[in-house]
Amino acid sequence: MKLFLKIDSLFLAKKILEEKLDAFNIKYNLINTNEILFLENIDADTYQKITSILNEYGFEIIENQKNIIVEKIKETIIEMIFNDEVPSVKSSVYLAEKLDLSYGYLSNLFSEVTYTSIENFIIIQKIEYVKKLITHHNLTLTEIAFKLNYSSVAHLSSQFKNITGITPSAFQRILKKRNEIANQNIN
């Protein structure tokens, strides 16, 4: 017997953070899964214990200011793309407004730290969302292209193939075949 799961990684991260931080009886505000505001002073020993426990679950404490800004850029992009309403403004305007920094600065910093461009990161995140929409929703490629502000299905398909090596249609066929095989194994 197989059990197929859909994982909401943001919910999971939030749940882990809350459970682990609540165990320390410290007042905090979980701003999002990448930022915690402690509402009281924490001694060095407690800080070390928190860091150690969070590391066990894949959380890494970022202390370099450039890396913090890059993580905020990534989080803002993911929020922008995985939101139900993709903003109609250009991503450069969206990022600059949300982070209150010039897009030129954000773009240069992102490239310096990650060795890739913001635009490339956006494309990769969009394709991840497309895969999620294809896998878990009954949307057509036209609906997905419209939802993610692609100019056409051809543009979406081109980016999808550049990132994954296959077309969205081929991806759909593979999923359909995989589901058929899984259903045969269940019966």
Q: Count how many residues are written for the chain.
A: 187
| Residue 29 clears pLDDT 80, i.e. is over it | yes
List, for residues 34-72, the tens digit of each pLDDT value: 788 888 888 889 889 999 999 999 888 887 889 889 999
All structural domains of the chain with their residue ranges: 9-61
More confident residue, 100 or 187: 100
Query: Across-strand partners of 37?
Result: 29
As a whole number of angstroms, the distance between CA 153 and CA 141 comes to 6
Contact 95, 73 (CB under 8 A): yes
Contact 87, 80 (CB under 8 A): yes
Q: For residue 70, which amino acid is it?
A: V
**Quick one: pLDDT at residue 84?**
64
List, for residues 89-125, the tens digit of each pLDDT value: 788 999 999 999 999 999 999 999 999 999 999 999 9
pTM to 2 decimal places: 0.72
**Quick one: pLDDT at residue 95?**
93
